[in-house]
Amino acid sequence: MSEALPDLPILNRTATPPEGLVLVPTPIGNLGDVTIRAIATLKAADLILCEDTRVTARLLTAYGISAATAPLHDHNEDQRIPALLERLRGGQRIALVSDAGTPLVSDPGYRLVRAALEAGLPVSALPGPNAALTALTLSGLPPHPFLFLGFPPRGGARLAAFAQLRAAERAGLSATMIWYEAPSRAGETLADLLAAFGDRPAVLARELTKHFEEIIRAPL
């Protein structure tokens, strides 16, 4: 028979979530990966800013979180910042989430965070899920140093970016490189990586933390 969790002070601290703007990581696939502090912070928020409210709604529904939500993405972030700063000045708690993983890591929110810091408003972040680090630890490639490069550019700009990185390697850079890429563009990007970097060990990670998680380790 399993025992209930002990009444630990560390768990009770979640009763007072951070004030101001709080960056809250969300699961990258498995809803069970959300943290106790993340749930408490989202429940206490006056407003939850979401990359896509429909995606975040699944998480909120699963954990009985009824806080108000609003979209914050690349197309509206600049316009929303003044009103959001006023809400923060008024003492409201605002949580910022992305569709999956840690906010700002190849996701919107940087401009809001920068504006809040420049205004002297409280900003904090919770630790939690991150697809890039999960993939790195599973890859079998050297974990440090590493470069996280987000989504590669498209077309000719991508080839130019890869050429610059290859030149940096020739000048002495030695690091595991991590990119995000859409499934529909993965094949083309891998071909461009092969052309730029030559045949070397590589890893493709998809559906991380989900039932059909797949890690492919092979030469480019």
Could you read off the pLDDT of 77-97 as tens digits, one per residue?
A: 999 999 999 999 999 999 999
Q: What is the pTM of this model?
A: 0.89
Question: Two tokens at 190?
Answer: 């891998």
Q: What pLDDT band is residue 17 in, cutting at 50, 70 and 90?
A: confident
Cα dihedral across residues 126, 26, 107, 177: positive or negative: positive
For residue 162, what are the contacts with CB-CB under 8 A and spacing of at least 6? 152, 192, 193, 195, 196, 197
The yes or no reply on domain 9-125 and CATH 3.40.1010.10 is yes
Average pLDDT (192-208) is: 97
The per-residue pLDDT for 9 is 54
Comma-separated ranges of CATH 3.30.950.10 domains in the chain: 131-219
Please give the biggest Cα pair distance in the chain.
61
Q: Say whether pLDDT at 141 is over 90.
A: yes
Tens of pLDDT, residue by residue over 35-94, are 999 999 999 999 999 999 999 999 999 999 999 999 999 999 999 999 999 999 999 999
Q: What is the CA angle 123-97-105, rounded to 5?
A: 85
For the record, the structure tokens of 127 come out as: 């630790």
CATH 3.40.1010.10-classified regions of the chain? 9-125
18-38 per-position pLDDT tens digit: 899 999 999 999 999 999 999
Is it the case that residue 13 has pLDDT exceeding 90?
A: no
Residue in the block written with tokens 């630990």: 8
Question: For 131-219, CATH number?
Answer: 3.30.950.10
